């Protein structure tokens, strides 16, 4: 199922380059919204879009800009869910079935404080949970916002760039093998 979705989205982006910004925005938003992030393969899509950058079919800037904006919007939405709906959010699927994710989120905040938000951007299963936990733990918005935005900007650059580098590497290997 995910493989078909990834192929369809990457094919659409390849054929409709002007949509790259919006595709990156939507999938980064989905990746950072609690409960939505487990339903869509956003990271794989953003890495795949980065591989299209390696082929010269796309520019990195609109992908980075779209993914940055989407990640900021989604992570603030998740923060708001935790802040305003607190314990009731923790009782929703899948968190109610995976209390260890809640425990990992709480432990991350105890150990790293606001740096957990920055680090959380780079840990797939914990990503959206960290933002909910930041709100739930009543992290002040003025502490959360700058660290979160920095994390969003970094994640939105690193994720497609990983795909771009991998794409260049694969291209180099293919050329070295004579293909």
CA 42, CA 48: separation in Å to the nearest integer?
10
pLDDT given for residue 171 in this prediction: 76
pLDDT given for residue 93 in this prediction: 67
CA 27, CA 64: separation in Å to the nearest integer?
12
- Element spanning 174, H or E: helix 141-176
pLDDT tens digits for range 53-105: 988 889 999 999 999 999 999 999 999 999 998 878 777 766 677 777 777 77
pLDDT given for residue 94 in this prediction: 67
* Residue 68 dihedral angles phi and psi, to the nearest 5°: -65, -50
Domain that holds residue 142: 2-176
Six-digit token string for 10: 């990457």
Q: Alpha helix (H) ranges present in 58-140? A: 60-90, 99-112, 115-120, 127-136
Domain count, the chain: 1
pLDDT given for residue 67 in this prediction: 97
pLDDT tens digits for range 104-162: 777 777 788 889 899 889 887 778 788 988 998 889 999 999 999 999 999 999 999 98
- Element spanning 45, H or E: helix 42-54
> How many angstroms separate the first and last alpha carbons of the chain?
31
SS3 178: coil
Six-digit token string for 66: 């779209």
pTM of the model: 0.86
Distance of CA 37 to the CA centre of its chain: 8
Q: Which of 69, 58, 72 is closest to 11 using CA atoms?
A: 58
* Residue 104 dihedral angles phi and psi, to the nearest 5°: -65, -40
């Amino acid at each position: 199922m995910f493989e078909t979705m990834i192929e369809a989205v990457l094919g659409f982006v390849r054929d409709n380059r002007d949509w790259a910004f919006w595709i990156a925005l939507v999938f980064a938003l989905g990746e950072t919204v609690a409960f939505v992030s487990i339903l869509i393969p956003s990271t794989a899509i953003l890495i795949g879009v980065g591989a299209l950058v390696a082929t010269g079919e796309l520019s990195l800037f609109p992908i980075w800009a779209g993914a940055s904006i989407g990640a900021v919007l989604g992570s603030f939405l998740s923060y708001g869910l935790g802040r305003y709906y607190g314990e009731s959010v923790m009782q929703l699927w899948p968190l109610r079935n995976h209390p260890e994710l809640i425990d990992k989120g709480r432990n991350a905040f105890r150990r790293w404080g606001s740096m957990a938000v920055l680090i959380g951007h780079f840990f797939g299963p914990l990503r959206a949970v960290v933002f909910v936990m930041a709100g739930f733990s009543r992290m002040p918005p003025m502490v959360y916002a700058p660290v979160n935005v920095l994390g969003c900007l970094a994640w939105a650059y690193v994720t497609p760039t990983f795909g771009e580098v991998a794409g260049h590497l694969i291209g180099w290997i293919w050329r070295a093998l004579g293909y």
